[in-house]
Amino acid sequence: MIELQNVCKSFKDQRVLDGLSLNVPDGRITVLLGRSGSGKSVTLKHIIGLLRPDAGRVLVDGEDITALDGSALNRVRAKFGVLFQDGALFDSMNVFENIAFPLIEHAKLKKGELRARVEEALAAVSLSRVEEKMPAELSGGMRKRVGLARAIVLHPSIILYDEPTSGLDPLLTDNINHLIQETQRKFNLTNFIISHDVGAALRIADKIAVLYEGKILEEGPPGQIAASTNPFIRAFIEGRQGEYDVL
């Protein structure tokens, strides 16, 4: 579904991605693990075409999106839904308006069809009777759920998650992780998650890739990563500070 080939990206004199190569399999949950500032968000922005690499290619369904712009790039972006770290809801819109926004922008639906799609998306994230609430009235977990409802309302084939459990307590973290798994199974989505939450990655991922110094240090199923003997990965998994400044 998604493949990054030898992607390099620098900002002024800082090399962030240094020949990163990664395959994101179709219909699975892939988690990119790395400490803060390691380039996870930069990787995600390359996947959706918000950044262009200095070198290398980014393929989506076999198409090199680094060569696209304008309507051609928007056509590829229509395959994606994105759940941002804080939900990124519009504070001046209620829940219904937030979820309906991408439908109004990109789909021509009658009023009844619009409401049905919003209700379908809310049901998928186990929310009901919240359409009239404003974002300020929602808990952190509910904001994440509304953000996910908005991400899936256009029926994308790929969902990108930016630190989906950041700032949540352990119970809400488990709820969001369960919701990610449930929506993946229900809609057969390709999920790409960037995170520094090792425990969550080991529980929900089909594949984990560990980012270090601009490259993929190791990738594989959770059991392989959990058993890795690489010093950085061991320190990361065990949450140890020190030589690697693991966060």
Domains, the chain, ordered by start = 1-79+157-247 (3.40.50.300), 86-156 (no CATH)
Residue 223, pLDDT above cutoff 50? yes
Both structure tokens of 75: 């056509």
Biggest CA pair distance of the chain? 58
Q: Identify which of 15, 61, 72, 3 has the alpha carbon closest to the alpha carbon of residue 215.
A: 15
Q: Which residues pair with 102 in a beta bridge?
A: none
Whether the per-residue pLDDT at 87 is higher than 80: the answer is no
d(CA 43, CA 194): 9
E strand intervals along 97-189: 158-162
Give dist(CA 15, CA 61) in Å, integer: 28
pLDDT at residue 2 is higher than 90: yes
Could you tell me the sign of the dihedral formed by the alpha carbons of 228, 232, 236, 239, in that order?
positive
Among 173, 159, 234, 231, CA closest to 204: 173
Tokens of 69: 């712009």
| Per-residue pLDDT at 246 | 41
Find how far residue 224's CA is from the centre of its chain. 22
> In the prediction, which pLDDT does 139 show?
86
Across 126-153, average pLDDT: 91
- E strand map for the chain: 2-11, 14-24, 29-33, 55-60, 63-64, 80-83, 158-162, 190-195, 207-212, 215-220
17: confidence class by pLDDT, cuts 50, 70, 90: very high
Say what the alpha-carbon torsion angle 68, 70, 76, 81 is, to the nearest 10 degrees.
130
Least confident of 49-58, 128-137, 162-171, 176-185: 162-171
pLDDT for 244 equals 52
Edge-first strand order for the sheet with 2-11 is 14-24, 2-11, 55-60, 63-64
Amino acid at 81: G
Confidence class of residue 247 from pLDDT cuts 50, 70 and 90?
very low
Do 220 and 69 contact (CB within 8 A), yes or no?
A: no
Indicate if the pLDDT at residue 86 is higher than 70: no
